[in-house]
């Protein structure tokens, strides 16, 4: 294992020297597999951090289109020190830009009122009945449609607008930031204002 490989892996992932050394050892010096190994390790540590209190952070404002669209978002972390870092501020800006571009209604699926979900289910049932689909498959189809509905209205479930693969969600973006920064991060709330709406 060369120091050049360790350096390259550090540049790609931002992980520490020992973590990079271990990742390369576990993956037989395969950079892609080492990145995956570190990501999995980071995700595991991010899950552990998720239960910790996040009472510091930023309220960030983003104005777009010569003042025709604006977003206010509160993003929390554990310490004032992290709130002042470039990584945290960059993340907060990305979150605000996502809200401006994709216009979610809720932060997470837990915030969606059951009455709204029930109304959606009724609409889907009517559509399936109209299409002549067998009632045996309704539940499976409806659950798939509800998942799609979440991805449209819930910020955490939306695909991150800068992800060209179309697979990374905003929840993934925040989880990766938790792994990198080392503190719990929570998108608390947001408001989106568009001129004339």
pLDDT of residue 154: 95
Mean pLDDT of 152-160: 94
Q: Which CATH fold topology does 56-108+154-194 show?
A: Tetrahydropterin Synthase; Chain A (3.30.479)
Mean pLDDT of 100-104: 94
- Is the pLDDT reported for residue 8 higher than 80? no
Confidence bin at 14 (pLDDT 50/70/90): low
Q: What gap in Å lies between CA 103 and CA 153, rounded to an integer?
A: 8
Do residues 80 and 56 touch, judged by C-beta distance below 8 A?
A: yes
pLDDT of residue 137: 83
- Is the pLDDT reported for residue 101 higher than 80? yes
pLDDT: which is higher, 173 or 46: 173
The predicted model scores a pTM of 0.70
Q: What gap in Å lies between CA 78 and CA 92, rounded to an integer?
A: 14
pLDDT of residue 51: 55
pLDDT of residue 44: 43
Query: In the chain, what percentage of residues exceed pLDDT 90?
Result: 42
Which CATH architecture group holds 113-152?
Orthogonal Bundle (1.10)
Contacts of 104 (CB under 8 A, 6+ apart): 98, 152, 153, 154, 155, 158, 190
pLDDT of residue 63: 94
Do residues 187 and 95 touch, judged by C-beta distance below 8 A?
A: yes
pLDDT of residue 152: 93
Do residues 12 and 35 touch, judged by C-beta distance below 8 A?
A: yes
Superfamily grouping for domain 3-49? Ubiquitin-associated (UBA) domain (1.10.8.10)
pLDDT of residue 106: 96
- Report for 14-23, 147-156, 170-179: range of highest mean pLDDT: 147-156
For the chain, the residue count is 197
Mean pLDDT of 92-99: 96
pLDDT tens readout for residues 39-87: 676 644 544 555 556 678 999 999 987 889 999 999 999 888 989 999 9
Write out the E strands in the chain: 56-64, 69-77, 186-194
- Is the pLDDT reported for residue 182 higher than 70? yes
pLDDT: which is higher, 99 or 5: 99
What residue spans define the domains of the chain? 3-49, 56-108+154-194, 113-152
Q: How far is CA 155 from CA 13, 54, 103, 149, 171, in A?
A: 25, 19, 8, 11, 8
């Amino acid at each position: 294992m060369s120091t050049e490989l360790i350096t390259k892996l550090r540049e790609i992932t931002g992980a520490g020297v020992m973590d990079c050394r271990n990742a390369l050892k576990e993956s037989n010096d395969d950079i892609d597999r080492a990145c995956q190994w570190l990501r999995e390790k980071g995700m595991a540590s991010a899950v552990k951090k998720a239960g910790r209190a996040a009472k510091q952070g930023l309220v960030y404002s983003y104005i777009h289109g010569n003042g025709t669209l604006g977003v206010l978002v509160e993003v929390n972390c554990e310490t004032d020190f992290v709130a002042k870092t470039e990584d945290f501020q960059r993340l907060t800006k990305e979150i605000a830009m996502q809200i401006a571009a994709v216009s979610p209604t809720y932060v997470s699926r837990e915030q969606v009122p059951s009455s709204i979900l029930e109304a959606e289910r009724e609409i889907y049932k009517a559509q399936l009945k109209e299409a002549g689909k067998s009632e045996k498959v309704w539940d499976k189809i409806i659950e798939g449609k509800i998942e799609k509905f979440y991805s449209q209205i819930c910020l955490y479930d939306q695909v991150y607008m800068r992800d060209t693969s179309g697979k990374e969600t905003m929840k993934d973006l925040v989880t990766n930031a938790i792994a990198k920064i080392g503190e719990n991060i929570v998108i608390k709330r947001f408001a989106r204002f568009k001129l004339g709406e």
